[in-house]
Structure 1
Amino acid sequence: MTGQAAVRRQAPGKLFVAGEYAVMEPGHPSILVAVDRHVTVTVRGCAGADVVVDSDLSPERARLRRHGGGLVPYGADGGQVDGLGHVVSAIEVVDALLAGRGLPVSPVHVSVTSRLHRDGTKFGLGSSGAVTVATVTAVCAYHGVELSPDERYRLAMLATVRRDTGSSGGDLAASVWGGWIAYQAPDRTAVRDLAQRHGVEEAMRAPWPGLAVRGLPPPRELALEVGWTGQPAVTSALAGRLDARRWRGTTSQRSFVARSDERVRAAIRALEEGDDDELLRQVRGARRVLAALDDEVGLGIFTTRLTALCDAAEAVGGAAKPSGAGGGDCGIALLDATARQDVTRMREKWAAAGVLPMPIRIQPTNGGLE
């Protein structure tokens, strides 16, 4: 494919509206939205290495060679892959797909640019998921393979579980389908084992226990406001604290998941029925469910700034909560879209608490869902 034109693909970031933590368990519901900030991946031919990766999420360029079904540094000057693990895994899983189909694999230069961080500090908008989706899509397209939305999600999930089965994949689904979605995670260990036993192609086509995705209508007359705490959080570290406390499988965990499921399913019904008041009520309830988990297990979900963010929204009649793992990153608020004075007052309270309002809109749906 020497001389082939470069291929560029984008994938949006995400925000959790409800269901974080519970969605880590296969088959339990969550609500996410895609946002209009993107990761862009450009793929072109290269010489001197099998794969070259550069990214504004990593300080160094990596030069890699294909070896034993994976990618390894190309000699002593191969550079570091720190911060590039999701990109590398995405390229490896595409290589496996191409090999399984008997297609040639070309040397590629993969460039990544992201609007999901500022000066290297992530906002908590799902940059890992977006870069994985954009990379599998772009590298496949460069090799002449166009993927359906379902195939993009599944290939991105297969790339993700090669590294870690802890991620729910909600960020991948939001990046693929856009808009508002209801999402239930598959059994990621089963997905990983399926790929290891039968290969990428068969794993993509097999049923995935627990997986469900469907599109949702947006609220009728509510605005989604986003506040950034300026404090980056690491989702895997927060989720890991639950494992360290031997919480999974306990009565406490089952109670939390049941309470979360009740709130999320009611919020889904409210969106489908166009009941904004009920949606606000359920989002406030989802905040309380997370707060109870935080009090019980001591994860540090609610920082001082996230608590102030939520309180400011509720003080003007809205509903708010951390988005995602908490411990920093972003919070969301839903308010009457016509009540601009309420939004202004809330933002003033945010500013006083050190919370930065972010000019974010919902990325429109890409279609392909019911």
Structure 2
Amino acid sequence: MADLVLDHLTIQYGDVTAVNDVSITVPSGEFLTLLGPSGCGKSTTLFSIAGLNKATSGTIRIGDKVLFDGAKGISVAPEHRDIGLVFQSYALWPHMSVADNLAFPLKLRKMGKAEREERIRDALTLVEMMPYAERFPFELSGGQQQRVALARALVYRPSLLLLDEPLSNLDAKLRERARVWLRELQERLKVTTIYVTHDQSEALAVSDRIAVMSMGHLRQLGRPKEIYNTPADAFVADFIGSSNFLTGKLAGGEELDGRANVELADGSRIRTLPGRAAADGTLVVAVRPERLEIVSGPQDNAIPATIEHGTYLGSIYQYEVAGAGSRFRIQTAEEIAQGQVYIRIPPEAATIFPAEPDGK
């Protein structure tokens, strides 16, 4: 297998730029997730790789095989790209049995009957659906239909597997089990996989790397822990998981350890990880609710605050807090009474960004 390379990929529809100068290299065997809100360009990017959307400029290639080159006018037809694609709706043919659904792409490739039957048996066994080979899609559950759609995409052994929100039609419990099963299957097959979702938890659970997109731009590309713990900008910090944003400004230069000194809106001072601020020094401090600490009294990086409201969420309590000139949330395993407290913001848990996002 070979690496998938997107090089300065741009997709325009009239005056609208759906994908703007995106460059990503996906090593052979990697599970990459395109993550972002609706309309960010993730599915448009996926379908351009499949050949169902024609890009405007840039290149798409798998190893030495060029699938699209805007400058040279190359655009390989979808059926000649050797790519498996699973749609959100599964797109199974309702009048065909499970086995016949898998046989169809093999017949298009003019594969002999004996080899077809062997491929179908192998693919259905792989997804644990062989006992259902003669059933029709309407006789299957949503989870079973999802497995059949995946088997159909794998039956001709593609070099690349594309998945467009394949778990979104499943209920929450089944979706969690399917994540584990899908990841285990991908690791066993070692097939390069591009996965599209808007579900942050899903992306964190299944991915080797995540490409976060917004308004056609690639905002950050990295491993799940990197994306979650060190977001590149305020958009990523807010979209991946949940973040509090406290307003403030730079107060003096960086210290010897590289951390920044920040004065919050109420005059409290804290130290944070280095980051960027606007030209006038205004900024926001991003910190995850679960990283905040309740402490007994004044100390370094602690701010006075008031617990205003609490919600019991089963494994944790979530509290609405007023302090540092802002309202924010804190999550903890301990029950806390309403009233005055001190909340410590660990320097390694706080990152600063410009108060005004760059608008990409």
Please give the range of the TM-score, normalised by the shorter of the 2 chains.
under 0.3
Structure (1/2) with the larger helix percentage: 1
Q: TM-score, normalised by structure 2?
A: 0.25
Larger Rg: 2
Structure (1/2) with the larger strand percentage: 2
Q: TM-score, normalised by structure 1?
A: 0.24
Query: Could you say which structure has the greater relative contact order, defined with CA pairs below 8 angstroms and 6 or more residues apart?
Result: 1
